Structure 1
Amino acid sequence: MREHRLGGRRFNPWVVVFFLSICCALTVPALAQEVPAAVAADEAAPALPIDGIPGLPAFTVTTNPDGSQDYTVTLQILVIMTVLSLLPALLMMMTSFTRIIIVFAILRQALGLQQSPSNQILIGLTLFLTFFIMAPVFEKVNSGALQPYINQDIGAREALARTAEPFHAFMLLQTRETDLALFMRIGDINGVATPQDVPMTVLVPAFVTSELKTAFQIGFILFIPFLVIDIVVASVLMAMGMMMLSPLIISLPFKIMLFVLVDGWGMVIGSLAASFAV
Protein backbone atom coordinates (compact mmCIF):
# COMPACT_ATOMS: atom_id res chain seq x y z
CA MET A 1 0.00 0.00 0.00
CA ARG A 2 1.35 3.39 -0.92
CA GLU A 3 2.17 6.01 1.67
CA HIS A 4 0.12 9.20 1.75
CA ARG A 5 0.97 12.73 2.81
CA LEU A 6 -1.02 14.53 5.53
CA GLY A 7 0.06 18.02 6.50
CA GLY A 8 3.36 17.59 4.65
CA ARG A 9 4.24 14.32 6.50
CA ARG A 10 4.17 10.76 5.27
CA PHE A 11 1.96 8.15 6.98
CA ASN A 12 1.10 4.53 6.30
CA PRO A 13 -2.68 3.62 6.16
CA TRP A 14 -1.95 0.26 7.79
CA VAL A 15 -1.14 2.11 10.98
CA VAL A 16 -4.69 3.48 11.11
CA VAL A 17 -6.20 0.04 10.48
CA PHE A 18 -4.03 -1.52 13.20
CA PHE A 19 -5.05 1.20 15.70
CA LEU A 20 -8.79 0.74 15.01
CA SER A 21 -8.48 -3.03 15.41
CA ILE A 22 -6.92 -2.64 18.84
CA CYS A 23 -9.71 -0.22 19.94
CA CYS A 24 -12.42 -2.68 18.84
CA ALA A 25 -10.73 -5.58 20.61
CA LEU A 26 -10.62 -3.63 23.85
CA THR A 27 -14.19 -2.24 23.65
CA VAL A 28 -16.26 -5.29 22.66
CA PRO A 29 -15.52 -7.43 25.76
CA ALA A 30 -16.40 -4.51 28.02
CA LEU A 31 -19.74 -4.03 26.25
CA ALA A 32 -20.44 -7.76 26.38
CA GLN A 33 -20.08 -7.67 30.15
CA GLU A 34 -22.20 -4.52 30.67
CA VAL A 35 -25.19 -5.43 28.46
CA PRO A 36 -26.24 -8.63 30.31
CA ALA A 37 -25.89 -6.83 33.63
CA ALA A 38 -28.16 -4.01 32.41
CA VAL A 39 -30.67 -6.49 31.03
CA ALA A 40 -30.69 -8.44 34.28
CA ALA A 41 -31.23 -5.22 36.23
CA ASP A 42 -34.17 -4.28 34.01
CA GLU A 43 -35.73 -7.72 34.47
CA ALA A 44 -35.31 -7.63 38.22
CA ALA A 45 -36.72 -4.12 38.66
CA PRO A 46 -40.53 -3.92 38.72
CA ALA A 47 -42.26 -2.10 35.87
CA LEU A 48 -43.26 1.24 37.31
CA PRO A 49 -46.05 3.27 35.66
CA ILE A 50 -45.11 6.55 34.07
CA ASP A 51 -45.72 9.49 36.42
CA GLY A 52 -47.47 7.15 38.82
CA ILE A 53 -50.39 6.49 36.47
CA PRO A 54 -51.28 2.79 36.20
CA GLY A 55 -51.58 1.43 32.67
CA LEU A 56 -54.98 0.59 31.20
CA PRO A 57 -55.68 -3.02 30.19
CA ALA A 58 -55.62 -3.10 26.41
CA PHE A 59 -57.96 -5.99 25.60
CA THR A 60 -60.14 -7.24 28.42
CA VAL A 61 -63.62 -8.71 28.22
CA THR A 62 -65.69 -9.10 31.39
CA THR A 63 -68.59 -11.54 31.43
CA ASN A 64 -71.57 -10.44 33.51
CA PRO A 65 -73.80 -12.82 35.52
CA ASP A 66 -76.60 -12.44 32.96
CA GLY A 67 -74.35 -13.65 30.15
CA SER A 68 -73.60 -10.26 28.57
CA GLN A 69 -70.05 -8.99 28.12
CA ASP A 70 -68.44 -5.66 28.90
CA TYR A 71 -65.36 -4.43 27.08
CA THR A 72 -62.59 -2.18 28.33
CA VAL A 73 -62.47 1.52 27.53
CA THR A 74 -59.69 0.89 25.01
CA LEU A 75 -61.86 -1.42 22.94
CA GLN A 76 -64.86 0.90 23.24
CA ILE A 77 -62.81 3.85 21.97
CA LEU A 78 -61.58 1.71 19.07
CA VAL A 79 -65.15 0.82 18.12
CA ILE A 80 -66.27 4.46 18.39
CA MET A 81 -63.44 5.68 16.14
CA THR A 82 -64.33 3.00 13.59
CA VAL A 83 -67.98 4.08 13.62
CA LEU A 84 -66.97 7.73 13.18
CA SER A 85 -65.19 6.83 9.94
CA LEU A 86 -68.56 5.59 8.64
CA LEU A 87 -70.43 8.68 9.83
CA PRO A 88 -70.63 10.41 6.40
CA ALA A 89 -72.15 7.30 4.83
CA LEU A 90 -74.61 6.92 7.70
CA LEU A 91 -75.57 10.59 7.44
CA MET A 92 -76.34 10.33 3.73
CA MET A 93 -78.04 6.92 3.74
CA MET A 94 -80.10 7.01 6.95
CA THR A 95 -81.33 10.62 7.09
CA SER A 96 -83.14 13.10 4.86
CA PHE A 97 -79.86 14.20 3.23
CA THR A 98 -80.31 12.22 -0.02
CA ARG A 99 -83.72 13.61 -0.94
CA ILE A 100 -82.78 17.21 -0.20
CA ILE A 101 -79.48 17.32 -2.10
CA ILE A 102 -80.99 15.68 -5.20
CA VAL A 103 -83.90 18.15 -5.25
CA PHE A 104 -81.50 21.09 -4.93
CA ALA A 105 -79.32 19.75 -7.76
CA ILE A 106 -82.33 19.30 -10.07
CA LEU A 107 -83.60 22.77 -9.18
CA ARG A 108 -80.27 24.34 -10.12
CA GLN A 109 -80.31 22.45 -13.40
CA ALA A 110 -83.88 23.57 -14.13
CA LEU A 111 -82.95 27.19 -13.56
CA GLY A 112 -80.10 26.82 -16.05
CA LEU A 113 -77.46 27.86 -13.53
CA GLN A 114 -74.27 25.80 -13.64
CA GLN A 115 -72.27 27.12 -10.68
CA SER A 116 -74.70 29.23 -8.67
CA PRO A 117 -75.44 28.30 -5.96
CA SER A 118 -72.13 26.48 -5.65
CA ASN A 119 -71.81 22.91 -4.47
CA GLN A 120 -70.48 24.05 -1.10
CA ILE A 121 -73.54 26.22 -0.50
CA LEU A 122 -75.94 23.47 -1.51
CA ILE A 123 -74.23 20.89 0.70
CA GLY A 124 -74.13 23.31 3.65
CA LEU A 125 -77.80 24.18 3.24
CA THR A 126 -78.64 20.49 2.94
CA LEU A 127 -76.74 19.67 6.14
CA PHE A 128 -78.48 22.33 8.21
CA LEU A 129 -81.88 21.39 6.78
CA THR A 130 -81.11 17.74 7.56
CA PHE A 131 -80.28 18.61 11.17
CA PHE A 132 -83.53 20.58 11.39
CA ILE A 133 -85.64 17.70 10.04
CA MET A 134 -83.83 15.03 12.06
CA ALA A 135 -83.89 17.03 15.33
CA PRO A 136 -86.69 14.92 16.91
CA VAL A 137 -84.81 11.72 16.05
CA PHE A 138 -81.55 13.08 17.46
CA GLU A 139 -83.36 14.17 20.62
CA LYS A 140 -84.73 10.66 21.13
CA VAL A 141 -81.26 9.18 20.66
CA ASN A 142 -79.76 11.65 23.12
CA SER A 143 -82.35 11.13 25.85
CA GLY A 144 -82.83 7.39 25.39
CA ALA A 145 -79.35 6.14 24.59
CA LEU A 146 -76.54 8.69 24.85
CA GLN A 147 -77.27 10.20 28.27
CA PRO A 148 -77.95 6.85 30.01
CA TYR A 149 -74.74 5.48 28.52
CA ILE A 150 -72.71 8.50 29.69
CA ASN A 151 -74.21 8.12 33.17
CA GLN A 152 -73.28 4.40 33.08
CA ASP A 153 -76.89 3.32 33.53
CA ILE A 154 -76.79 1.03 30.47
CA GLY A 155 -74.12 -0.87 28.60
CA ALA A 156 -72.71 -0.31 25.13
CA ARG A 157 -74.89 -2.95 23.46
CA GLU A 158 -78.11 -1.61 24.91
CA ALA A 159 -77.09 1.95 23.99
CA LEU A 160 -76.49 0.84 20.40
CA ALA A 161 -79.88 -0.88 20.27
CA ARG A 162 -81.63 2.20 21.65
CA THR A 163 -79.81 4.38 19.11
CA ALA A 164 -81.05 2.27 16.20
CA GLU A 165 -84.71 2.38 17.27
CA PRO A 166 -85.47 6.07 16.40
CA PHE A 167 -83.67 5.78 13.05
CA HIS A 168 -85.51 2.54 12.31
CA ALA A 169 -88.87 4.22 13.00
CA PHE A 170 -87.96 7.28 10.89
CA MET A 171 -86.83 5.26 7.88
CA LEU A 172 -89.84 2.97 8.13
CA LEU A 173 -92.22 5.94 7.80
CA GLN A 174 -90.49 7.15 4.62
CA THR A 175 -90.11 3.77 2.91
CA ARG A 176 -92.60 2.50 0.36
CA GLU A 177 -94.06 -0.93 0.95
CA THR A 178 -93.18 -1.98 -2.60
CA ASP A 179 -89.49 -1.16 -2.07
CA LEU A 180 -89.52 -2.96 1.26
CA ALA A 181 -91.12 -6.03 -0.28
CA LEU A 182 -88.59 -5.94 -3.12
CA PHE A 183 -85.57 -6.20 -0.83
CA MET A 184 -87.33 -8.73 1.38
CA ARG A 185 -87.81 -10.89 -1.70
CA ILE A 186 -84.24 -10.37 -2.91
CA GLY A 187 -82.80 -11.21 0.50
CA ASP A 188 -85.17 -14.18 0.89
CA ILE A 189 -86.19 -12.97 4.34
CA ASN A 190 -89.32 -14.49 5.83
CA GLY A 191 -90.95 -14.61 9.22
CA VAL A 192 -91.24 -10.83 9.74
CA ALA A 193 -94.47 -10.41 11.69
CA THR A 194 -94.56 -6.61 12.07
CA PRO A 195 -92.82 -3.73 10.26
CA GLN A 196 -90.86 -3.02 13.44
CA ASP A 197 -89.17 -6.41 13.04
CA VAL A 198 -87.69 -5.56 9.64
CA PRO A 199 -83.88 -5.83 9.91
CA MET A 200 -81.72 -2.80 9.20
CA THR A 201 -79.92 -4.64 6.40
CA VAL A 202 -83.21 -4.63 4.46
CA LEU A 203 -84.62 -1.31 5.64
CA VAL A 204 -81.62 0.88 4.73
CA PRO A 205 -81.46 -0.02 0.97
CA ALA A 206 -85.25 0.12 0.74
CA PHE A 207 -85.23 3.55 2.38
CA VAL A 208 -82.55 4.88 -0.01
CA THR A 209 -84.49 3.57 -3.02
CA SER A 210 -87.67 5.27 -1.83
CA GLU A 211 -85.79 8.52 -1.22
CA LEU A 212 -84.42 8.48 -4.76
CA LYS A 213 -87.89 7.97 -6.21
CA THR A 214 -89.40 10.75 -4.10
CA ALA A 215 -86.56 13.15 -4.93
CA PHE A 216 -86.98 12.63 -8.68
CA GLN A 217 -90.74 13.07 -8.42
CA ILE A 218 -90.30 16.41 -6.65
CA GLY A 219 -87.63 17.40 -9.17
CA PHE A 220 -89.97 16.62 -12.07
CA ILE A 221 -92.64 18.89 -10.61
CA LEU A 222 -90.10 21.68 -10.14
CA PHE A 223 -88.82 21.29 -13.68
CA ILE A 224 -92.16 21.80 -15.47
CA PRO A 225 -92.60 25.63 -15.00
CA PHE A 226 -89.05 26.36 -16.14
CA LEU A 227 -89.44 24.00 -19.09
CA VAL A 228 -92.56 25.92 -20.18
CA ILE A 229 -90.61 29.19 -20.08
CA ASP A 230 -87.83 27.66 -22.23
CA ILE A 231 -90.39 26.43 -24.80
CA VAL A 232 -92.15 29.82 -24.99
CA VAL A 233 -88.88 31.72 -25.39
CA ALA A 234 -87.63 29.30 -28.06
CA SER A 235 -90.92 29.62 -30.02
CA VAL A 236 -90.79 33.43 -29.90
CA LEU A 237 -87.18 33.49 -31.11
CA MET A 238 -87.96 31.15 -33.98
CA ALA A 239 -90.97 33.27 -34.97
CA MET A 240 -88.74 36.35 -35.01
CA GLY A 241 -86.12 34.57 -37.11
CA MET A 242 -83.46 34.70 -34.39
CA MET A 243 -82.40 31.10 -34.74
CA MET A 244 -78.74 31.79 -34.02
CA LEU A 245 -79.52 33.25 -30.60
CA SER A 246 -79.52 30.71 -27.76
CA PRO A 247 -82.90 30.52 -25.99
CA LEU A 248 -81.14 29.86 -22.65
CA ILE A 249 -79.63 33.33 -22.64
CA ILE A 250 -83.05 34.94 -22.99
CA SER A 251 -85.01 32.59 -20.75
CA LEU A 252 -82.56 32.65 -17.81
CA PRO A 253 -83.55 36.14 -16.52
CA PHE A 254 -87.25 35.27 -16.79
CA LYS A 255 -86.79 32.01 -14.87
CA ILE A 256 -84.84 33.75 -12.12
CA MET A 257 -87.43 36.52 -11.91
CA LEU A 258 -90.30 33.99 -11.70
CA PHE A 259 -88.48 31.99 -9.02
CA VAL A 260 -87.87 35.10 -6.91
CA LEU A 261 -91.41 36.47 -7.31
CA VAL A 262 -93.05 33.27 -6.07
CA ASP A 263 -90.58 32.96 -3.18
CA GLY A 264 -89.14 29.81 -4.68
CA TRP A 265 -86.54 29.02 -2.01
CA GLY A 266 -89.08 29.30 0.78
CA MET A 267 -91.56 27.09 -1.05
CA VAL A 268 -88.97 24.43 -1.92
CA ILE A 269 -87.42 24.27 1.54
CA GLY A 270 -90.81 24.34 3.25
CA SER A 271 -92.16 21.58 1.02
CA LEU A 272 -89.08 19.44 1.60
CA ALA A 273 -89.32 19.84 5.37
CA ALA A 274 -93.04 19.06 5.33
CA SER A 275 -92.57 15.99 3.14
CA PHE A 276 -90.92 14.06 5.97
CA ALA A 277 -93.15 12.42 8.52
CA VAL A 278 -91.30 12.30 11.83
Structure 2
Amino acid sequence: MPAFLEIPALDIFSDDGENLSSTIQLLLVMTVLSLAPGILILMTCFTRIIIVLGFVRSGLATQQMPPNQVLIGLALFMTFFIMAPVFAEVNEEALQPLFDGDMSQEEAFEAAADPMKEFMAEHTRENDLALFMGYAGEERPESLDDVPLTALVPAFAISELKTAFQIGFMIFVPFLVIDMVIASVLMSMGMMMLPPVMISLPFKVLLFVMVDGWHLVVRSLLFSF
Protein backbone atom coordinates (compact mmCIF):
# COMPACT_ATOMS: atom_id res chain seq x y z
CA MET A 1 0.00 0.00 0.00
CA PRO A 2 1.40 3.43 -0.88
CA ALA A 3 2.76 5.38 2.06
CA PHE A 4 0.30 8.25 1.59
CA LEU A 5 -2.62 5.79 1.92
CA GLU A 6 -1.44 4.25 5.16
CA ILE A 7 -3.63 5.03 8.16
CA PRO A 8 -1.70 5.55 11.39
CA ALA A 9 -2.57 3.17 14.19
CA LEU A 10 -4.47 4.57 17.15
CA ASP A 11 -3.46 3.17 20.50
CA ILE A 12 -6.53 3.61 22.68
CA PHE A 13 -4.91 1.92 25.67
CA SER A 14 -2.26 3.18 28.01
CA ASP A 15 1.02 1.36 28.58
CA ASP A 16 -0.46 -1.06 31.11
CA GLY A 17 -3.24 -2.04 28.67
CA GLU A 18 -5.98 -1.60 31.27
CA ASN A 19 -7.03 2.05 31.36
CA LEU A 20 -8.23 4.04 28.41
CA SER A 21 -5.93 6.74 27.15
CA SER A 22 -6.60 10.37 28.08
CA THR A 23 -7.92 11.09 24.58
CA ILE A 24 -10.59 8.41 24.80
CA GLN A 25 -11.43 9.45 28.36
CA LEU A 26 -11.94 13.00 27.14
CA LEU A 27 -14.19 11.67 24.37
CA LEU A 28 -16.26 9.76 26.92
CA VAL A 29 -16.57 12.86 29.10
CA MET A 30 -17.77 14.92 26.14
CA THR A 31 -20.31 12.20 25.34
CA VAL A 32 -21.66 12.31 28.88
CA LEU A 33 -21.88 16.10 28.73
CA SER A 34 -23.85 15.89 25.49
CA LEU A 35 -26.34 13.62 27.29
CA ALA A 36 -26.54 15.92 30.31
CA PRO A 37 -29.75 17.72 29.14
CA GLY A 38 -31.53 14.41 28.74
CA ILE A 39 -30.28 13.25 32.14
CA LEU A 40 -31.44 16.50 33.72
CA ILE A 41 -34.89 16.27 32.14
CA LEU A 42 -35.65 12.58 32.65
CA MET A 43 -33.87 11.75 35.92
CA THR A 44 -34.76 14.77 38.05
CA CYS A 45 -37.85 16.73 39.05
CA PHE A 46 -37.40 19.16 36.13
CA THR A 47 -40.11 17.52 34.01
CA ARG A 48 -42.86 17.93 36.60
CA ILE A 49 -41.91 21.52 37.41
CA ILE A 50 -41.72 22.85 33.85
CA ILE A 51 -44.99 21.17 32.82
CA VAL A 52 -46.87 22.59 35.82
CA LEU A 53 -45.46 26.07 35.16
CA GLY A 54 -46.54 25.72 31.54
CA PHE A 55 -50.07 24.82 32.68
CA VAL A 56 -50.15 27.95 34.84
CA ARG A 57 -49.27 30.14 31.87
CA SER A 58 -51.79 28.36 29.65
CA GLY A 59 -54.52 28.72 32.27
CA LEU A 60 -53.85 32.43 32.58
CA ALA A 61 -53.91 32.73 28.76
CA THR A 62 -51.18 35.36 28.92
CA GLN A 63 -49.57 34.10 25.71
CA GLN A 64 -45.80 34.38 26.25
CA MET A 65 -45.91 35.94 29.70
CA PRO A 66 -43.86 34.85 31.59
CA PRO A 67 -41.39 34.15 28.75
CA ASN A 68 -40.00 30.67 28.18
CA GLN A 69 -36.59 31.75 29.47
CA VAL A 70 -38.08 32.77 32.80
CA LEU A 71 -40.05 29.54 33.23
CA ILE A 72 -37.10 27.35 32.26
CA GLY A 73 -34.75 29.32 34.53
CA LEU A 74 -37.15 29.02 37.45
CA ALA A 75 -37.60 25.30 36.78
CA LEU A 76 -33.82 24.79 36.65
CA PHE A 77 -33.12 26.53 39.95
CA MET A 78 -36.04 24.75 41.63
CA THR A 79 -34.62 21.48 40.30
CA PHE A 80 -31.19 22.26 41.75
CA PHE A 81 -32.81 23.21 45.07
CA ILE A 82 -34.91 20.05 45.33
CA MET A 83 -32.17 17.74 44.05
CA ALA A 84 -29.41 19.30 46.18
CA PRO A 85 -29.34 16.44 48.76
CA VAL A 86 -29.20 13.86 45.98
CA PHE A 87 -26.46 15.72 44.10
CA ALA A 88 -24.49 16.13 47.34
CA GLU A 89 -24.67 12.39 47.95
CA VAL A 90 -23.56 11.65 44.38
CA ASN A 91 -20.62 14.02 44.81
CA GLU A 92 -19.62 12.49 48.15
CA GLU A 93 -20.09 8.84 47.26
CA ALA A 94 -18.92 8.83 43.62
CA LEU A 95 -17.30 11.95 42.22
CA GLN A 96 -14.83 12.74 44.99
CA PRO A 97 -13.55 9.15 45.31
CA LEU A 98 -13.21 9.01 41.52
CA PHE A 99 -11.24 12.26 41.39
CA ASP A 100 -9.04 11.10 44.28
CA GLY A 101 -8.27 7.85 42.47
CA ASP A 102 -9.90 5.67 45.12
CA MET A 103 -12.57 4.34 42.76
CA SER A 104 -12.70 3.18 39.16
CA GLN A 105 -15.08 4.65 36.60
CA GLU A 106 -17.37 1.61 36.75
CA GLU A 107 -17.52 1.74 40.54
CA ALA A 108 -18.15 5.49 40.48
CA PHE A 109 -21.00 5.04 38.02
CA GLU A 110 -22.65 2.43 40.21
CA ALA A 111 -22.17 4.58 43.31
CA ALA A 112 -23.63 7.63 41.55
CA ALA A 113 -26.60 5.64 40.24
CA ASP A 114 -27.75 4.50 43.68
CA PRO A 115 -28.90 7.94 45.01
CA MET A 116 -30.55 8.76 41.68
CA LYS A 117 -32.35 5.40 41.64
CA GLU A 118 -33.60 5.96 45.19
CA PHE A 119 -35.02 9.35 44.23
CA MET A 120 -36.66 8.09 41.05
CA ALA A 121 -38.05 4.95 42.68
CA GLU A 122 -39.70 7.06 45.38
CA HIS A 123 -41.70 8.94 42.74
CA THR A 124 -42.30 6.11 40.26
CA ARG A 125 -45.61 4.28 40.15
CA GLU A 126 -45.41 0.53 40.45
CA ASN A 127 -47.51 -0.15 37.35
CA ASP A 128 -45.30 2.13 35.24
CA LEU A 129 -42.18 0.29 36.34
CA ALA A 130 -43.89 -3.08 35.81
CA LEU A 131 -44.68 -2.04 32.23
CA PHE A 132 -41.02 -1.67 31.25
CA MET A 133 -39.78 -4.55 33.38
CA GLY A 134 -42.37 -6.85 31.83
CA TYR A 135 -41.60 -5.70 28.28
CA ALA A 136 -37.91 -6.40 28.84
CA GLY A 137 -38.72 -9.86 30.19
CA GLU A 138 -37.23 -9.07 33.59
CA GLU A 139 -38.43 -10.85 36.70
CA ARG A 140 -40.00 -8.98 39.60
CA PRO A 141 -37.08 -7.23 41.35
CA GLU A 142 -36.44 -8.11 44.98
CA SER A 143 -34.65 -4.85 45.70
CA LEU A 144 -33.88 -1.54 44.06
CA ASP A 145 -30.45 -2.82 43.05
CA ASP A 146 -32.15 -5.31 40.74
CA VAL A 147 -33.96 -2.56 38.81
CA PRO A 148 -31.97 -1.45 35.73
CA LEU A 149 -31.77 2.22 34.86
CA THR A 150 -33.00 1.44 31.35
CA ALA A 151 -36.38 0.52 32.86
CA LEU A 152 -36.46 2.91 35.82
CA VAL A 153 -35.76 6.11 33.88
CA PRO A 154 -38.69 5.87 31.38
CA ALA A 155 -40.99 4.60 34.15
CA PHE A 156 -40.06 7.61 36.27
CA ALA A 157 -40.59 9.93 33.29
CA ILE A 158 -44.14 8.79 32.55
CA SER A 159 -44.98 8.84 36.27
CA GLU A 160 -43.81 12.44 36.42
CA LEU A 161 -45.89 13.29 33.35
CA LYS A 162 -49.03 11.87 34.96
CA THR A 163 -48.40 13.71 38.22
CA ALA A 164 -47.72 16.97 36.38
CA PHE A 165 -50.94 16.68 34.38
CA GLN A 166 -52.92 15.97 37.54
CA ILE A 167 -51.56 19.12 39.13
CA GLY A 168 -52.16 21.04 35.89
CA PHE A 169 -55.80 19.95 35.87
CA MET A 170 -56.31 21.32 39.37
CA ILE A 171 -54.72 24.59 38.28
CA PHE A 172 -56.91 24.85 35.18
CA VAL A 173 -60.25 24.44 36.98
CA PRO A 174 -60.46 27.92 38.62
CA PHE A 175 -59.48 29.62 35.37
CA LEU A 176 -62.07 27.58 33.47
CA VAL A 177 -64.77 28.65 35.93
CA ILE A 178 -63.88 32.30 35.38
CA ASP A 179 -64.06 31.84 31.60
CA MET A 180 -67.48 30.20 31.88
CA VAL A 181 -68.85 32.94 34.15
CA ILE A 182 -67.60 35.71 31.89
CA ALA A 183 -68.97 33.97 28.80
CA SER A 184 -72.40 33.53 30.46
CA VAL A 185 -72.51 37.18 31.50
CA LEU A 186 -71.61 38.38 28.02
CA MET A 187 -74.25 36.14 26.43
CA SER A 188 -76.90 37.35 28.85
CA MET A 189 -76.03 40.94 27.93
CA GLY A 190 -76.24 40.12 24.21
CA MET A 191 -72.55 40.87 23.67
CA MET A 192 -71.83 37.67 21.78
CA MET A 193 -69.40 39.34 19.37
CA LEU A 194 -67.03 40.30 22.20
CA PRO A 195 -64.43 37.57 22.86
CA PRO A 196 -64.86 36.31 26.44
CA VAL A 197 -61.10 35.75 26.72
CA MET A 198 -60.47 39.47 26.35
CA ILE A 199 -62.69 40.21 29.35
CA SER A 200 -61.72 37.23 31.51
CA LEU A 201 -57.97 37.78 31.20
CA PRO A 202 -57.78 40.75 33.61
CA PHE A 203 -60.00 38.93 36.12
CA LYS A 204 -57.84 35.80 35.99
CA VAL A 205 -54.66 37.81 36.46
CA LEU A 206 -56.29 39.74 39.34
CA LEU A 207 -57.42 36.52 41.03
CA PHE A 208 -54.00 34.94 40.58
CA VAL A 209 -52.28 37.96 42.12
CA MET A 210 -54.75 38.26 45.01
CA VAL A 211 -54.25 34.63 46.11
CA ASP A 212 -50.47 34.90 45.58
CA GLY A 213 -50.65 32.25 42.89
CA TRP A 214 -46.95 31.83 42.16
CA HIS A 215 -46.25 31.22 45.85
CA LEU A 216 -49.00 28.60 46.03
CA VAL A 217 -47.88 26.84 42.86
CA VAL A 218 -44.21 26.72 43.87
CA ARG A 219 -45.16 25.66 47.40
CA SER A 220 -47.27 22.82 46.02
CA LEU A 221 -44.43 21.69 43.76
CA LEU A 222 -41.91 21.71 46.60
CA PHE A 223 -44.16 19.71 48.93
CA SER A 224 -45.00 17.25 46.16
CA PHE A 225 -41.43 15.98 46.49
Residue 133 (structure 1) aligns with: 82
Instruction: Give the equivalent residue in structure 1 for 2:26.
Output: 77
TM-score (norm 2): 0.91
Aligned to 1:60: 13
Deviation at 1:71, TM superposition (A): 2.5
2:61 corresponding residue in structure 1: 112
Residue 119 (structure 2) aligns with = 170
Distance 1:94 1:124 in 2: 18
**How far, CA to CA, are the matches of 2:222 and 2:124 in structure 1?**
16
Contact in 1 for aligned 2:117/2:144 (Cα 8 Å) = no
Task: Please give the secondary structure, in 1, of the residue aligned with 2:19.
Answer: strand
Residues 102, 215 of structure 1: 8 Å contact kept: yes
Runs of 4+ in 1 over 3 A off after TM superposition: none
Instruction: Return the alpha-carbon distance in structure 2 between the equivalents of residues 73 and 249 of structure 1.
Output: 61
2:138 partner SS: coil
Report SS of the residue matched to 1:244: coil
User: Are the equivalent residues in 2 in contact too, given 1:145–1:163 (CA < 8 A)?
Assistant: yes
Instruction: Provide the C-alpha distance between the structure 1 equivalents of 2:163 and 2:39, rounded to a whole number of angstroms.
Output: 19
Give the share of equivalent positions with the same residue, in percent.
57
- Residue number in structure 2 paired with 1:12: none
Structure 2 residue aligned with 1:89: 38
Instruction: For 1:183 and 1:85, locate their aligned partners in 2 and report how far apart those are by CA, in whole Å.
Output: 25
Q: Which of these two proteins has the greater Rg computed from alpha carbons?
A: 1
What is the alpha-carbon distance in structure 2 between the residues aligned to residue 203 and residue 269 of structure 1?
26
Helix, strand or coil: the match of 1:134? helix
SS of the aligned residue for 1:145 comes to helix
User: Deviations for 1:49-72, whole angstroms, at most 9, x for unmatched residues?
Assistant: xxxxxxxx9521546xxxxx4333
Match of residue 3 from structure 2: none
1:212 aligns with 2:161: yes
Contact 2:128 2:155 in 1 (8 A): yes
TM-score (normalizing by structure 1): 0.74
- In structure 2, the residue matched to 1:259 is 208
Whole-angstrom distance in 2 between the partners of 1:90 and 1:58 = 31
Q: Distance in 2 between the 1:193 and 1:211 partners? A: 23
Q: 2: distance between equivalents of 1:159 and 1:58?
A: 25
**Which residue of structure 1 aligns with residue 133 of structure 2?**
184
CA distance in 1, matches of 2:157, 2:53: 17
**1:119 CA drift (Å):** 0.8
- Structure 2 gap ranges (5+): 1-9
- 2:99 alignment counterpart: 150
User: Aligned match of 1:249 in 198, 202, 211?
Assistant: 198
State the alpha-carbon separation in 1 of the partners of residues 136 and 164 from structure 2.
25
Following TM superposition, by how much is the alpha carbon of 1:191 offset from its aligned partner in structure 2, in angstroms?
5.3
The structure carrying a bigger strand percent of its residues is 1
Match of 1:116, SS? coil
Residue number in structure 1 paired with 2:51: 102
> Unpaired segments of 5 or more residues in structure 1?
1-56, 64-68
